[in-house]
Amino acid sequence: MKTNSWFLIRQLAWTDFKLRYNSLVLGYLWSLLHPFLIFGVYYLVFSVFAKIGGVPHYPLYLLLGIILWNYFAESSSNGMQSMQFKAGLISNIDLPKGVILVASNFTSLLTLSLNLGVFAIFFVLSSKRPAAAGGLFLIFLLELVILSFAVSLLLSSYLLKFRDLYYLWGVALQIGFWLTPIIYPVELIPERIRWLFLLNPLARIIQDARSAVLGLNPPPLRHHLVSLAMVAVMLALGIAVFIRRSARFAEEI
């Protein structure tokens, strides 16, 4: 990507990040409070009342899952609306449409970075020793970023034409949260139907990421290769659809 495109991406991403919290009393703290408030509620319900057991370091397990899920939800939702939010740029300025989408995903990455930083503090305070495979977390995180970008490509390609897609995706995210092993371990799913849940690449990525950080039973190499293949297919499909549809954005705004 050209240097001026990277400059635009940085400027758009940082401007969006500042504007999102500029008028709020707590400002940037909301980007940290949101996942931790959700974590507190779910931890109280499912650890104290429902008593989900059998998961070592369950607070860290739950918190990391929520942070990664929130990144996917925020990145895909904001990416989906990025063309609509930047309609003025698309109509009046000749710039690559992909720049707007990449900038939107970078904004979500800033929030993710802050949340992971706080998670790291909790990790240290918990006296949990880093797992030997902890470095693999960066690979799984990259997979998550690419998957989120691929989904954003697909959703943003059709939102301008089908505005109801925004509400449909909101419902899909709510359902997807409960169908993804975030609060509960994947081992609680009956083995005969577990493969259905693992058709969701996000479930595989979050499971792999937590296994790497917390030193849980690592998935077999075949499991990871399937995740990579899913993400690659989603990215190729997203790029193809976005390129084909982007020529119509200006007339659909």
DSSP secondary structure letters along 159-217: HTT-TTHHHHHHHHHHHHHHHSSSSS-GGGS-HHHHHHHTTSHHHHHHHHHHHHHHT--
The neighbour count for residue 124, using CB atoms within 10 Å, is 10
Half-sphere exposure of residue 197: CA atoms within 13 angstroms, side-chain side: 23
Half-sphere exposure of residue 87: CA atoms within 13 angstroms, side-chain side: 8
pLDDT-based confidence at residue 1 (cuts at 50, 70, 90): low
Residue type, 15: T
Residue 124 reports pLDDT greater than 80: yes
In terms of residue numbers, what domain contains 95? 3-252
pLDDT-based confidence at residue 168 (cuts at 50, 70, 90): very high
Residue 153 reports pLDDT greater than 90: yes
Distances (CA, A) of 120 to 67, 132, 136, 177: 12, 16, 16, 23
* Cβ 212 vs Cβ 140: under 8 Å: yes
**How many Å separate Cα 165 from the centre of its chain?**
18
Residue 181 reports pLDDT greater than 60: yes
Half-sphere exposure of residue 250: CA atoms within 13 angstroms, side-chain side: 10
Residue 67 CA to residue 74 CA, distance in Å, equals 10
Token pair belonging to 180 = 């993804």
**Mean pLDDT taken over the chain:** 83
* Cβ 35 vs Cβ 113: under 8 Å: no
Lowest mean pLDDT among 12-21, 97-106, 124-133, 188-197: 12-21
Looking at residues 44-58, what average pLDDT do you find?
A: 71
* Cβ 178 vs Cβ 204: under 8 Å: no
9 vs 112, residue with greater confidence: 112
Distances (CA, A) of 78 to 20, 102, 166, 194: 11, 11, 10, 30
Give the pLDDT of residue 94: 64
Give the pLDDT of residue 170: 94
113, 119, 89: which is closest to 101 by C-alpha? 89
Looking at residues 19-42, what average pLDDT do you find?
A: 70
Task: Supply the pTM of this predicted model.
Answer: 0.87
158 vs 17, residue with greater confidence: 158
Residue 125 reports pLDDT greater than 70: yes
**Between the ranges 29-43, 60-74, 82-96, where is the mean pLDDT highest?**
60-74
pLDDT-based confidence at residue 241 (cuts at 50, 70, 90): very high
What's the sign of the alpha-carbon dihedral 234, 240, 244, 248?
A: positive
> What's the total number of domains in the chain?
1
Percent of the chain with pLDDT over 90: 31
Give the pLDDT of residue 116: 92
